[in-house]
Amino acid sequence: MSIAEFIGPAGQPSRLETWRQAWLAIDSNERALAFVQTRTGSLLLCAAFVFVLAAGLQLSVAALALVAATLFAMILLPAHALTVLVGSSLFYFAMRPFRIDGWAGLVQEKSEAFPFAGAMGLQLASVAIVLVLSAMFLFWQRQFSGTTAAKRPVLTLILLWSGLLMTAILSPQGTLWHAMHWSVVGVSVSSLWILAYSAIDARGKDTTSTLHRSAFLRPFWGGSAVPIGKSFGFLNRFAAKDETELAATRLKALKLAVWALVLTGVLKLCEFTAYQQYGLADLQTAILAHAGGNTLGGFANWASLITNYFIDLLIIAVWGHYIVAVVRMAGYRIPRNTVNPLGARTLAEFWNRYFYYFKEMLVDLFFYPAFRRYFKGNTKLRIAFATFCAAGLGNFLYHFMRETYVFADGALLEKLWIFQSAVFYSLALAIGLIVSQWRGRKVRPEDGFLAYHVWPRMNVIAFFCFLKIFDDISGEGTLMERAAFLFGLFGV
Amino acid sequence: MSKSVRNFVETLLSERGKSADFTDSDALFTSGLLDSMAATELMIYLETEFGLDLADPDFDISRLDTIDDLKGLLSEMV
């Protein structure tokens, strides 16, 4: 076939375009749907899916093996899909209970005081304790559903966890008590938000048993502490209702995984071009160089800032697409995590399109509870306060709680300074979102191309680009140094 | 009454670049068609236009999921 034939004559769809259209419509193609409903078809589809995941190189061999084994088991044992899902997630929780390396490193270090089987023994003991505590909490909530604490499960969980953290901080260093405490704090903070969703589900219509919900603290599809797919209350709403819907959901999963693979290629190419070919520094390096008096120069700093923004978008998109694809392959047609963030015309819309499940978590666990309770007589104030609770308080709490392992060696007040940029970031984001929501009239297509398509998007990109300067929880580069970098971009 | 609610939902959809082609029994939120911020806008609209009190902390948001649900809610609470 010649290139001309492949591309096709002007005015007619090329062969490439025909293939693309057929691929995009594959989840509604009757022949494909019928094939995937057969045992052979579903196994082949799953094999292709696992191959695409492997090609993306985003998962470790162990994680890929667990995902593959779980998905094949769910296909082969459809009547026991829930048991397979919960069992696999329980195994994953036991093996990888920490979402960030800081906690895993801390538990490794503290395990010297644990007499049985070292770090793995300490980890497994902590997982067992957290599972028991979670089950007790959910059973207690069901039993005493009329109490204020049961009606406000998110606040109750945060207060209980804070109490646990305080006792860990006060526990004597080098003791078994100290090691156990910190390990339990680390395991529980990694699963707190999904437990909060489970507790909220208990008040809704979801019929999943308390036992299943209490064992589902780290879904086998992985990810950060942000629960992608929330919990069973959300997942069950998107569960395939019949064989045809299940086949369509699995084909959608393959499509999304392939799209993630394409984006992985784009990401690698961008990283290679920016960092290898043109020698750009990443944003953190540029900020620290500026803070150390060795600024890379105005042009290089701008280039680092803008490159960082787009590469970050690609990283989040790729990461989220792979996880959502696995959830879909498991039979739950949940929405994507990232959907065309560059199309956002408002800050709130960007937040929704950039990291949907983080935004949903902040809205479900912080925004709604505040929105329903406070400032009911004043709509603007009501929205502003609820937005502050979500984007400001909730956002900061999530990051702060995740990083509390830094307090394990004492020096509490000294370590609190690490979070100065995170406080500013959360406040600035909350203020930006409040102002964005307060602005009355929304732009319309009739306002003109620039007013509708260009300026709102440029504003959103600029806001989040600059905000990224303060998106740090490492403690390297103070708030003032980051502010100096920002002003330095404008020659100030 | 239900027509104005439907118009409002259509506006929410068009603001999010989605088609306003849906039936009264189609799920709006649990299907992912509309997000949680749209639910907030809808709640404020129902409160200001029809005097509903949806601020009860125990109010189940899934009661806003379809136009039929909204019709039922309005006939029950107004």
Predicted pLDDT at A4: 59
Nearest to A322, CA basis, from A280, A240, A263, A371: A263
State whether residue B26 sits within 8 Å of chain A by CB: no
Cα-Cα-Cα-Cα dihedral sign, residues A282, A286, A288, A292: positive
Nearest to A423, CA basis, from A355, A374, A359, A471: A471
ipTM of model: 0.77
Predicted pLDDT at A82: 94
DSSP category for residue A332: B
Q: Are the beta carbons of A140 and A150 closer than 8 angstroms? A: yes
Please give, rounded to a whole number of angstroms, the shortest distance from the CA of B12 to a CA of chain A: 12
Predicted pLDDT at A416: 87
- Which of chain A's residues have a Cβ under 8 Å away from the Cβ of B40? 367, 371, 383, 386
Contact between A203 and B57 using a beta-carbon 8 Å cutoff: no
Q: Are the beta carbons of B68 and B6 closer than 8 angstroms? A: no
SS3 A239: strand
CA distance A242 to A248: 10
Residue of chain A nearest B37, judged by CA positions: A363
The values of phi and psi at residue A332, to 5°, are -115, 115
- Which of chain B's residues have a Cβ under 8 Å away from the Cβ of A359? 36
Please give, rounded to a whole number of angstroms, the shortest distance from the CA of A274 to a CA of chain B: 33
Nearest to A476, CA basis, from A343, A294, A285, A293: A285
- Which of chain B's residues have a Cβ under 8 Å away from the Cβ of A348? 37
Interface probe for B, chosen from A346, A372, A447 (most Cβ of B below 10 Å), is A372
Please give, rounded to a whole number of angstroms, the shortest distance from the CA of A147 to a CA of chain B: 12
Q: Are the beta carbons of A263 and A318 closer than 8 angstroms? A: yes
Predicted pLDDT at A391: 93
- Which of chain A's residues have a Cβ under 8 Å away from the Cβ of B54? 372
Contact between B55 and A373 using a beta-carbon 8 Å cutoff: yes
- Which of chain A's residues have a Cβ under 8 Å away from the Cβ of B44? 379, 383
Q: Tell me the pTM.
A: 0.90
CA distance A425 to A416: 15
How is residue A435 written in tokens? 């102002």
pLDDT in tens, chain A (492 residues): 555 555 566 666 788 888 999 999 999 999 999 999 999 999 999 999 999 999 987 788 999 999 999 999 999 999 999 999 999 999 999 999 988 889 999 888 888 877 777 888 899 999 999 999 999 999 999 888 888 888 899 999 999 999 999 999 999 988 888 999 999 999 999 999 999 999 988 776 678 898 999 999 999 999 888 999 998 988 998 899 999 999 999 999 999 999 999 999 999 999 999 999 999 999 999 999 999 988 898 899 999 999 999 999 999 999 999 999 999 999 999 999 999 999 888 888 888 889 999 999 999 899 988 988 888 888 889 989 999 999 999 999 999 999 999 998 877 878 888 999 999 999 999 999 998 877 766 677 777 888 888 888 999 999 999 999 999 888 888 999 999 999 999 987
Nearest to A344, CA basis, from A458, A440, A466: A458
